[in-house]
Every structure is written in C-alpha cells, then in structure tokens.
Amino acid sequence: MLAPAAVHAASTAGAAKSISVRGILTKSPDGKPALMATDGKLIYLHGDPDTMGVLNDKRLANMDFEALGHFTSPGHFEIDPIHERAMFVHKDGKRLMITYWCNTCYIRTYTPGPCWCCQKYTDLDLRESVDE
C-alpha cells in the first residue's frame, strides 16, 4: 500500500506507471467498449480516437484482451495513447500486439479503417512483435 502522500506525488509527476487490466473484450449494456474482468466485474474502457477504433472492432469482440493505462474512477479505465502500443490479445498462450495490415501496399497501421494509400479496408493482423 502506498501512503496517500506517495500517491499524490505520483499523480502530480505526470509519469504514473501504467497498470494492466485483462478480461474479455465486450460491450456495456449501453453499447460502450468494456472489459469483463475475471471476477465478473465490467470495466468501461476509454482512450484516444484510434484506441476507440480498436475497441469497437467487431473482429476483436469476446477475445482475451489486455490494456495498459490507469483507472480514472472505479470501473472506468483510460488506456494509454495508441503510440504506446497499450493493447494486446492473448491467444494460444501468446501475448499479441493488435495491428492492421494492407496486403496490397504492405502498410501497417494500429487502428481499423481504410488503408491511407489504396483505401482498401485493412486486415486485422495479430503479431508477436512488430518490425519498425
């Protein structure tokens, strides 16, 4: 347990360490992206627009999902910005990064949508690592 003073110091430093939440990616009763934690609690997920695009990707629904970020209030979790690569899927014992791939242009992106080059809708591509 951190003393209240230590918690205050961490939050004002602006570099509070991210924590991880894991569960099944689902939707809340009001249609918002949410995580069904292993204890059955529903955690609302929020993030920047690209992060929200990933959370709303139907291809990821009901997957074993992990996100890094912090709780803004009990039951509400703010995911780290998309460039932090803060979202993962666990599959076959592996922790996979969520990426999107255009197999026409060989362009990788990190949110679903049309390829910025040829406008083809990108494929979901779960990867163990990403070559930058």
Smallest distance, Zn ion to C-beta of residue 78, A:
31
According to CB under 5 A, which residues from 87 to 106 bind Zn ion? 102, 104-105
Regarding 9 and contact with Zn ion (CB under 5 A), the answer is no
According to CB under 5 A, which residues from 18 to 57 bind Zn ion? none
Helix then strand count (H, E) for the chain reads: 2, 9
The stretch among 8-16, 53-61, 112-120, 123-131 that binds Zn ion (CB under 5 A) is 112-120
* Beta strands, E only, 28-103: 33-37, 42-46, 64-73, 76-79, 87-91, 94-102
Give the residue with the Cβ less far from Zn ion, 57 or 66: 57
Smallest distance, Zn ion to C-beta of residue 80, A:
27
First-to-last C-alpha distance (Å) of the chain: 38
The stretch among 19-27, 36-44, 60-68, 107-115 that binds Zn ion (CB under 5 A) is 107-115
Can you tell me the distance from the alpha carbon of 20 to that of 103, in angstroms, rounded to the nearest whole number?
32
Residue appearing with tokens 């689902």:
26
Give the residue with the Cβ less far from Zn ion, 67 or 115: 115
Smallest distance, Zn ion to C-beta of residue 110, A:
15
**Encoding tokens for residue 86?**
């803060």
Strand-strand pairing, 33-37 and 42-46 = antiparallel
Can you tell me the distance from the alpha carbon of 113 to that of 16, in angstroms, rounded to the nearest whole number?
31
Smallest distance, Zn ion to C-beta of residue 116, A:
8
In the complex, the residues that contact Zn ion under the rule CB under 5 A are 102, 104-105, 115, 117-118
